[in-house]
């Protein structure tokens, strides 16, 4: 049984016109469908959740456009990739919105304690122990604040307090706030840990330790 010879090198089945397409001298072959770049971009952006909000928005927008392009015969479908990108992009937005809301709530709740930490260290470093004691809980005795004042005065003039970690805890009806950060003075910087306890509507410093 005779066999047809293989096609010449460099020619693939996709280079031939579909069955039923009129072909004759001078008849051009139909163009190959273009890649649906919108759908590809949507899927890739949806998989990249590392950039808050940005990749999610890009994935959803390009996915919608890619979905419309999938009905255009000039493009390869890409419908599945577009839908996947939209789903992943939407999921990314929901996840980052949740984390953003939680972080904003924590930041807002610890705003007053962080401000008090700044003022307490400033007053203590300036030797204004009486003023600092007005913001201290019974757990922070005056002798401890006196020692802190002497210690901080050796570090130079107070400049700033930066809190990089904060948390609110409620246990046994007692609300506390734990802060960690860095206190900056003219001559030195020192990491610190501070615990504040809520007494009525006011926060009071109960623990302050420097490394």
DSSP labels for 125-180?
HTT-HHHHHTTB-TTS-HHHHHHHHHHHHTT-SEEEEEEEEEEEEEETTEEEEEEE
What pLDDT was estimated at residue 20? 57
| Residues 127 and 170 occupy one common structural domain | yes
| Residues 131 and 201 occupy one common structural domain | yes
Judge whether 25 lies within some domain: no
| Residues 131 and 98 occupy one common structural domain | no
Compute the distance between CA of residue 131 and CA of residue 138 in angstroms, rounded to an integer: 15
| Residues 154 and 101 occupy one common structural domain | no
Buried b / exposed e along 27-55 (16+ C-beta atoms within 10 A)? eeeeeeeeebebbbbbbbbbebbeeeeeb
Query: Residue 131 above 90 pLDDT?
Result: yes
Query: Residue 120 above 70 pLDDT?
Result: yes
| Residues 147 and 89 occupy one common structural domain | no
What pLDDT was estimated at residue 6? 65
For 95-119, what is the mean pLDDT? 83
Read off the pLDDT of residues 81-92 as tens digits, 9 standing for 90 and up. Answer: 889 889 998 998
Judge whether 17 lies within some domain: no
> Structure pTM?
0.57
- For the chain, what is the domain count? 2
Asked which of 89, 106, 123 is the last residue of a domain, the reply is 106
| Residues 178 and 197 occupy one common structural domain | yes
Judge whether 8 lies within some domain: no
What pLDDT was estimated at residue 19? 58
> In terms of residue numbers, what domain contains 199?
111-210
Judge whether 61 lies within some domain: yes
């Amino acid at each position: 049984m005779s066999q047809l010879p293989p096609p010449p090198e460099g020619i693939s089945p996709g280079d031939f016109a579909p069955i039923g397409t009129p072909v004759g001298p001078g008849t051009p072959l139909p163009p190959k469908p273009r890649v649906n770049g919108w759908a590809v971009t949507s899927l890739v952006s949806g998989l990249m959740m590392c950039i808050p909000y940005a990749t999610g928005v890009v994935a959803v927008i390009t996915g919608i456009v890619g979905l419309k392009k999938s009905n255009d015969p000039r493009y390869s479908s890409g419908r599945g990739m577009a839908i996947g990108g939209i789903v992943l992009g939407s999921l990314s937005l929901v996840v980052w919105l949740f984390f953003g809301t939680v972080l904003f709530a924590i930041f807002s709740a610890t705003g007053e304690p962080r401000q008090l930490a700044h003022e307490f260290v400033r007053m203590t470093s300036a030797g204004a122990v009486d003023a600092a004691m007005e913001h201290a809980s019974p757990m922070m005795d005056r002798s401890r604040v006196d020692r802190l004042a002497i210690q901080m005065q050796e570090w130079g003039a107070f400049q700033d307090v930066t809190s990089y970690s904060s948390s609110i805890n409620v246990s046994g009806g007692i609300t506390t706030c734990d802060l960690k950060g860095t206190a900056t003075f003219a001559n030195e910087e020192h990491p610190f840990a501070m615990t504040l306890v809520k007494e009525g509507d006011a926060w009071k410093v109960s623990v302050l330790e420097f490394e």
